[in-house]
Chains A and B, each alone.
Chain A
Amino acid sequence: MNVNSLYEKPVLFALAAVVVISVGTLVTTFIPLFLPSTQPVSPLFTPYTAVETEGRDIYIREGCNNCHTQTVRPLRAEVARYGDYSRAEESAWDRPFLWGSRRTGPDLARVGGKYPDAWHYRHMANPQAMFGKSNMPAYAWLAKAKLDTSLTARKVKVLGFGYDEAEVARQLAAFRRTVTAPTWPSAQERSRVTPAALRGELTELDALVAYLQKLGRDLMAAQRAAAGPGTAEAAEKKNPYAGNRTAGEEGEKIFEENCKVCHGEKGAGGFGPKLATTKHKFGGTDADLFTTVSGGRPGGMPSFLQPLGKDRIWKVITYIRRLESESR
């Protein structure tokens, strides 16, 4: 057969084209679908709750993935900025995946538990009020929309999360009781952004915040458990800059860039506790303060060891000491 005749037989030509595109498809895409090593599964990573599932769907609806990624790459600076790199197992329940392709905003794969809920309510309602230079849209209207849960049970079933309709109803009711209780730690900020009529209901923002708080949590919990109590790195004992004026001034700048959003102007308090005081929630010795700032604390104090480094943490502590003395 003359090779040229391929260019005279359109149907044969189309079939040849299908064969040619199939080779790469089979090797790089189709076969991996059937290899368990492509998407390994681990019991350490749990499916989303009913509320988190709804929150994830709002994240998808609003296209948050167009500006935020959810994959920390195994690069030194990236791990320092966001936290440990992403594992394949973490995505096992994700349909669709939400890794993203642009980082107009920061990565979110490790944001769960990093800040208190109140931080998210305030931030989502008006990002520029917290960070003047941010270009994130304000999503205040999410707090003004009642969460539609009519499809939740169906969604959970399609996604194969392994709990039934009754469990969905129970989770939704329990979550509603939690966030609408006046004693809930983030109640004040939630009420501020939520219209009175919806304060007793679940809003879209409630669900979105719940979803954000789930991101990366399973991995961090697993790592804490593996490390066991008492093996956390031995804290530094003494501030090398104690009483150093210039270090305190540098510390002030670092404080304004990193701490002020939560601890307020001059440490007057906000989402985070007041720092212009001699009574600190997690202890007031140099070692205590260093442990708190470097390692973070449950309830929304992020860890600053990686992004700031020891030196700058001591400088911030020097500044906190100045605030203490000014508060006396």
Chain B
Amino acid sequence: MANESEKMYTGDNIVQREMRMTNGTRNDSIVRGFALSSVFWLLIGLVIGLWLAAEMVYPSLNLAPWLAFGRLRVVHTNGLVYGFTLAGIFACSFYMLEKLTRTPLAFPGLAKAQLWLFNIAIALAALSLFAGMNTSKEYAELEWPLDIVVVVLWVMFAVNVMGTLVKRREKQMYVSLWFLVACVVTVAVVYILNNLAIPVSLTKSYSVYAGVNDANVQWWFGHNAVASVFTFPILAMFYYFLPKSTGLPIYSHRLSIIAFWSLVFGYLWTGAHHLMLTPVPEWIQTVALAFSLFLIAPSWASVVNGFYTMNGNWDKMKSNYLVKFFILGITFYGLQTIQGPTQAIRALSAHLHYTEYIPGHVHMGTMGWVTMIITASMYFMMAKISGREVHSVKLANIHFWLILVGQLLFTVTLWIAGIVQGAMWKAVNPDGSLKYTFLDSVAAMYPFWTVRLVGGLLYFAGIAVFAYNLYMTSRPKPGTKWSAAAAARSQAA
């Protein structure tokens, strides 16, 4: 396979050439700003997640209207999807863009403005959701004025991505850049169409779609928000930072091409797997089921690509502290993309839909795949930017084990809980009457919820270690351009 033309577009040489560039990028401060914002919103979002998990066991923790579970859950999801993950995507995207195009960002001023506007928007988003201003549509809860701000932010981002790509000095676009472009266009399309609403006041609006259509549009959005926030850009990071941190080229570029197009094509058909056995037309559900199963193939193409990249070099799992994050991350991605499609099967959906099993699925993806990849990418990037090694490999290892064990405790517990819960809801006596009241099924969940809380605490401890380690790594090293800039700033002050 390794003939010249294959080599040409394996991106192999792109990564090689880029390796000879100096450390960091032209816009280190923007990358650094987004990375630290991301970690900040991660910590906030997790504290809220812990509070939620505790409220499920101790309802008296619903201390005030703005702390009540129904409002707080939305702050958790939005804080982590939009605050943590998007900022992480922005940081890594700007970094990868400059590296892979060998060109500085097209509009650095715009990126700086985006950083400020982003943090203001997330803060306002959190406040408005605490106040109960929400549309109720999952992951699209923000009311219309903030939707407009999100769209503006996205346009700013897209302009820089496309502008830099157009100006690029590297002829070929590496696979990470394709996923980045896919993320840019998909988020734009699904976010705008799902949020179309008619305002009645500054803080209240009604969806333009009614009933079944609203549900169908919402979950077409919902699933593709997962695709374009938790999948495409995270794969972009994986395809870039794994080769970068190991020096090994991606195993097969042909596989990434097939994987890319079929993944991007397939995802958009599957929204209704969130609506199995509801009044959504049956054919839409069945099409969604078929495409959900189909998605296993392109998802696993990336998993296989990752594993084969390590072929013959598995000792790096031990010798290179970052490799285990990437390999465990892609493994959870692989498990996630087997589990997800099975949840779409009607018979299994009948048992698992609405149960604890689904938050189990969600958190393997977010705590296993997304945070493994983002935090490892940030270590790598931050060390490059500040021109030093990571502050402490030992702490990075502690961080790894804590988030791994915390996540497994959390997710495996909820899968079991979900299966038990579904079975209790379904259990009938020989005469067709129900074996358990709803409250029986609630009572059975308390032990599981307690273990989940413990898992969450372990995971949080790991992330706290990460935040400290990353912050220490981000401090400018004497004698680098970053510290010179910092010194100049403090002199001016």
- Whether chain B is bound by chain A comes out as yes
Cβ–Cβ < 8 Å partners of B301 in chain A:
none
Cβ–Cβ < 8 Å partners of B65 in chain A:
62, 141
Cβ–Cβ < 8 Å partners of B40 in chain A:
none
Interface pair A20/B261, CB less than 8 Å apart: yes
CA distance A100 to B353 in the complex (A): 11
Does B145 reach chain A (CB closer than 8 Å)? Answer: no
> Binding site of B, secondary structure by majority: helix, strand, loop or mixed?
helix
Cβ–Cβ < 8 Å partners of A27 in chain B:
269, 287
Interface pair B442/A134, CB less than 8 Å apart: yes
CA distance A151 to B205 in the complex (A): 11
Q: In the complex, which of the residues A62, A69, A131, A311 contacts B68, with contact meaning CB atoms closer than 8 Å?
A: A62
Interface pair B213/A38, CB less than 8 Å apart: yes
Considering residues A39, A67, A98, which has the most beta carbons from chain B within 10 angstroms of its beta carbon?
Answer: A39
0/1 string, B125-149, CB within 8 A of A gives 1: 0000000111111100000000000
Does B216 reach chain A (CB closer than 8 Å)? Answer: yes
Does B345 reach chain A (CB closer than 8 Å)? Answer: no
Interface pair B172/A38, CB less than 8 Å apart: no
Residues of A270-328 whose CB lies within 8 A of B: 306-312
Min Cβ gap B480→A in Å is: 32
CA distance A28 to B138 in the complex (A): 19
Cβ–Cβ < 8 Å partners of B68 in chain A:
62-63, 137, 139
Given the known A-B contacts A8-B172, A28-B269, A63-B74, are A71 and B428 also in contact in the complex, defined by CB atoms under 8 Å?
A: no
Interface pair B209/A33, CB less than 8 Å apart: yes
Report the stretch among A81-89, A178-186, A193-201, A234-242 that lies at the interface: A81-89
Does B217 reach chain A (CB closer than 8 Å)? Answer: yes
Given the known A-B contacts A24-B265, A63-B71, A96-B218, are A39 and B212 also in contact in the complex, defined by CB atoms under 8 Å?
A: yes
Does A268 reach chain B (CB closer than 8 Å)? Answer: no
Residues of B202-242 whose CB lies within 8 A of A: 204, 206-218, 220, 224
Given the known A-B contacts A17-B181, A101-B358, A309-B433, are A66 and B211 also in contact in the complex, defined by CB atoms under 8 Å?
A: no
CA distance A92 to B213 in the complex (A): 9
Q: In the complex, which of the residues B178, B200, B215 contacts A99, with contact meaning CB atoms closer than 8 Å?
A: B215
Given the known A-B contacts A21-B264, A81-B425, A91-B212, are A4 and B284 also in contact in the complex, defined by CB atoms under 8 Å?
A: no
CA distance A259 to B264 in the complex (A): 54
Interface pair A39/B439, CB less than 8 Å apart: no
0/1 string, B185-204, CB within 8 A of A gives 1: 11001000000001011001
Interface pair A308/B268, CB less than 8 Å apart: no
Interface pair B271/A17, CB less than 8 Å apart: no
Does B57 reach chain A (CB closer than 8 Å)? Answer: yes
Interface pair B279/A60, CB less than 8 Å apart: no
0/1 string, A30-59, CB within 8 A of B gives 1: 001100011100000000000000000100
Report the stretch among A102-110, A117-125, A168-176, A210-218 that lies at the interface: A102-110
Given the known A-B contacts A21-B264, A97-B215, are A71 and B279 also in contact in the complex, defined by CB atoms under 8 Å?
A: yes
Interface pair B211/A62, CB less than 8 Å apart: no
Does A166 reach chain B (CB closer than 8 Å)? Answer: no
Does B86 reach chain A (CB closer than 8 Å)? Answer: no
Residues of A181-232 whose CB lies within 8 A of B: none
Cβ–Cβ < 8 Å partners of B165 in chain A:
10
Interface pair B200/A13, CB less than 8 Å apart: no
CA distance A62 to B68 in the complex (A): 8
Min Cβ gap A26→B in Å is: 9
Q: In the complex, which of the residues B133, B206, B429 contacts A95, with contact meaning CB atoms closer than 8 Å?
A: B206
Cβ–Cβ < 8 Å partners of B212 in chain A:
38-39, 88, 91, 97
Does A1 reach chain B (CB closer than 8 Å)? Answer: no
CA distance A17 to B209 in the complex (A): 26
Instruction: Name the CB-closest residue of B to A98.
Output: B136
Interface pair A101/B136, CB less than 8 Å apart: no
> Binding site of A, secondary structure by majority: helix, strand, loop or mixed?
helix
Q: In the complex, which of the residues A14, A61, A139 contacts B185, with contact meaning CB atoms closer than 8 Å?
A: A14
CA distance A86 to B215 in the complex (A): 14
Min Cβ gap A72→B in Å is: 9
Given the known A-B contacts A128-B59, A151-B204, are A95 and B428 also in contact in the complex, defined by CB atoms under 8 Å?
A: no
0/1 string, B38-78, CB within 8 A of A gives 1: 00000000000000000111010010010011110110000
Q: In the complex, which of the residues A13, A80, A88 contacts B279, with contact meaning CB atoms closer than 8 Å?
A: A88
Cβ–Cβ < 8 Å partners of B269 in chain A:
24, 27-28
Cβ–Cβ < 8 Å partners of A93 in chain B:
210-211
Does B274 reach chain A (CB closer than 8 Å)? Answer: yes
CA distance A58 to B279 in the complex (A): 25
Interface pair A20/B70, CB less than 8 Å apart: no
Does B437 reach chain A (CB closer than 8 Å)? Answer: yes
Given the known A-B contacts A28-B288, A69-B354, are A7 and B62 also in contact in the complex, defined by CB atoms under 8 Å?
A: no
Does B247 reach chain A (CB closer than 8 Å)? Answer: no
CA distance A271 to B5 in the complex (A): 80
Interface pair A39/B210, CB less than 8 Å apart: yes
Cβ–Cβ < 8 Å partners of A244 in chain B:
none
Instruction: Name the CB-closest residue of A to B133.
Output: A61
Interface pair B181/A309, CB less than 8 Å apart: no
A residues contacting B by CB (< 8 A) are 4, 7-8, 10-11, 13-14, 17-18, 20-25, 27-29, 32-33, 37-39, 57, 60-67, 69, 71, 73-78, 80-81, 86-88, 90-106, 127-128, 131, 133-139, 141, 151, 154-155, 158-159, 257-258, 306-312
Query: Which 6 residue pairs spanning A and B have beta carbons closest together?
Result: A309-B433, A63-B70, A91-B211, A24-B268, A137-B62, A10-B165
B residues contacting A by CB (< 8 A) are 5, 8-9, 55-57, 59, 62, 65, 68-71, 73-74, 132-138, 162, 165-166, 168, 171-173, 177-178, 181-182, 184-186, 189, 198, 200-201, 204, 206-218, 220, 224, 261, 264-272, 274-275, 277-281, 284, 287-288, 291, 350, 353-355, 358-359, 425-429, 431-434, 437-439, 442-443
Please list 22 pairs of residues, one from A and one from B, whose beta carbons are closer than 8 Å in the complex, sorted by A's number: A4-B5, A8-B173, A10-B168, A10-B181, A11-B162, A21-B265, A33-B217, A39-B212, A61-B134, A62-B71, A80-B433, A91-B214, A97-B210, A97-B215, A100-B354, A103-B354, A106-B438, A133-B443, A134-B59, A135-B57, A155-B206, A307-B434
